[in-house]
Amino acid sequence: MGHAKAAIDKINVKNLPKHIAIIMDGNGRWAKQKGLPRIAGHWAGAEALRDIVRTCCKLNIQVLSVFAFSSENWKRPVQEVNTIMNLLLYYLKKEVDELDKNNVRIHVSGAWEELPERIVGQIKKSIQQTQNNTGLILNIVLNYGSRNEILSACKKLYKDVQSDIISIDGIDESTFQNYLYTRDLPDPDLLIRPSGELRISNFLLWQIAYTELWFTEVYWPDFKSDDLLKAILDFQKRERRYGGLKS
């Protein structure tokens, strides 16, 4: 805790990322390393998320997006998928009151309405319970693949053009963004991927066009507040030019 406080003291509160996105990776390898079943890694990953949410609240981060379940994850063994679904349900039920008390608003991105009914019902309850909160937006990214998101946006946009709701000449980046799951959120300023993998894995491809990337070999269950603060401190040392030149 002392290390975390020391790191927080170094943070420039005037240059914080408004939106932090995290690919929560490495649960299975963490468990294997410890001789535990993969389910243990997922449970430990949920504990890590609790810690990171608290830190983001302390720092007054506006949005935290976490990649919880991708559309490709359905390829995993049925037992593991069921475990992840049950863990998600447990997390929402157990944490929603605490999140609500801490002024956190739950937002969910992806094709989450296609998930099992018990999950969809709890998501709707969690969103409704926290909808008036004004603090951190916890954006849980579920049943999501960025290419599918972009294709879906194109189809919706095409239908609106056909219906004369919008003209071809009226389409720009801002218009297109309104058809994405994250239309109500700012683009991420900082994307963090634990576990040593150096990939984006079909996550927020449109949204991270100018996002700063930060990778670490730490597995997600071991990712602590100190690691988040290191990422933010590194972010604050970078110069974001958005394709322009240094002034």
Structural domain spans, the chain: 15-145+186-236
- pLDDT in the model for residue 1: 45
- pLDDT in the model for residue 242: 66
Which of 9, 12, 73, 103 is an active site residue?
73
How many separate helices (H) and strands (E) can be counted in the chain? 8, 6
DSSP 73: G
CA pair distance 28, 25, nearest whole angstrom: 8
Cα 153 vs. chain centroid, distance in angstroms? 19
**15-145+186-236 fold:** Undecaprenyl pyrophosphate synthetase (3.40.1180)
What tokens does 44 get? 């430990």
25 is annotated as an active-site residue: yes
100 is annotated as an active-site residue: no
pTM score, whole prediction = 0.93
Which of 25, 27, 143, 227 is an active site residue?
25
User: Which pLDDT tens digits describe the chain residue by residue (247 residues)?
Assistant: 445 555 778 899 999 999 999 999 999 999 999 999 998 999 999 999 999 999 999 999 999 999 998 988 888 888 888 888 888 998 899 999 999 999 999 999 999 999 999 999 999 999 999 999 999 999 999 999 999 999 999 999 999 999 999 999 999 999 999 999 999 999 999 999 999 999 999 999 999 999 999 999 999 999 999 999 999 999 999 987 666 656 5
The bridge status of strand 137-144 relative to strand 105-109 is parallel
CA pair distance 221, 26, nearest whole angstrom: 7
CA pair distance 98, 154, nearest whole angstrom: 38
- pLDDT in the model for residue 171: 95
- pLDDT in the model for residue 246: 62
- pLDDT in the model for residue 100: 97
